[in-house]
Amino acid sequence: MSKRATREALGATLVELAREGADIFAVDADLARATTLQVFGNAYPDRLLNVGIAEQDMMGVAAGIALTGATVFTGSFAAFGTGRCYDQIRNTVCESRLNVKVCPTHAGITVGEDGATHQMLEDIGLMRGLPGMRVLVPADYHAACAAIRLAADIEGPVYIRFSRFATAEVYDGPVQGRLPWASVLREGADVSLLACGVEVEQALLAAELLAAEGVSAEVIDIESVTPLDEELICRSASKTGHVVTAEDHCVATGMGAAVAGLLAERCPTPMRFVGMWSFGTSASADVLLKHFGLDAEGIKAAAFELLR
């Protein structure tokens, strides 16, 4: 399977939307090349604003443009595009339900060599705790394109989490985004592997490893953390009786915590969590996934621990 980073979808999809007539703008904090928003700026230079290294200003400018009736996408890296401007996202964008789409790239542990300061592991928790914010975590390039289009169609704030790391294309071609959004990628009977973002590829690989040892794993891609597809998740949990969640994010506040809250209320099920319990460190993405137990072997081990 070919591999592409989900961030590659951002600039290219905004160009497509603009050509189709969408009234969209983008604001970036001096990282447009890395976020790929420069692709959009090259095609529509009057629709991309670079505010410099000033994330709070980026969010304020985006809010102001949104008040004119346009749909506005913001860039930057996830560590800065959510953490440094959280106050503006909360009080200016979400409280007023403005049509701003928060779309930083370079999220999660797979930022790699940039180290702990740039490996944003708390962003899903920050965003899903905000009233009115929808949270999307695409698994591959095709899902990322669909997430951007979905965000453009939705009124109000949306958070999309993009990765720097190139992942396998788990979908054969274009997909249709929806809310809530989750997809069964592999049917199974013994354990449900619920993953989001870069961990979806690892969950599929883990299912292969488990199958080789006689364990039937169901793999579900959780594309929308907020809202969750409650019916699909509960149906799978009831079928297998065991749930493992996998994410390159802080376990305490991420997708796994959201799923645990749902199951505790509607369908109590034994669980294990694959994710980050600490800050990251500097190394290549593949090394970090293995070191922190976020690779296929780590997911397999969590599943066997649960089944035992």
Identify whether 55 is a catalytic site residue: yes
The Cα 227–Cα 249 span in angstroms is 18
The Cα 208–Cα 217 span in angstroms is 8
How many other C-beta atoms lie within 10 A of the C-beta of residue 57? 16
Contacts of 231 (CB under 8 A, 6+ apart): none
Which residue among the candidates 55, 199, 201, 247 is catalytic per the annotation? 55
The neighbouring-strand residues paired with 226 are 135
CA 273 to chain CA mean position, Å: 17
Q: Which tokens is 254 given?
A: 């991420």
Task: Report CA-CA distances (Å) from 164 to 17, 85, 171, 232.
Answer: 23, 21, 19, 29
Torsion on CA atoms 55, 106, 151, 68, rounded to nearest 10:
20
Report H helices in 241-280.
255-266
Reduced to 3 states, what is the DSSP secondary structure of residue 120?
A: strand
Reduced to 3 states, what is the DSSP secondary structure of residue 101?
A: strand
Reduced to 3 states, what is the DSSP secondary structure of residue 221?
A: strand
67: which DSSP letter? T
Positions marked catalytic? 55
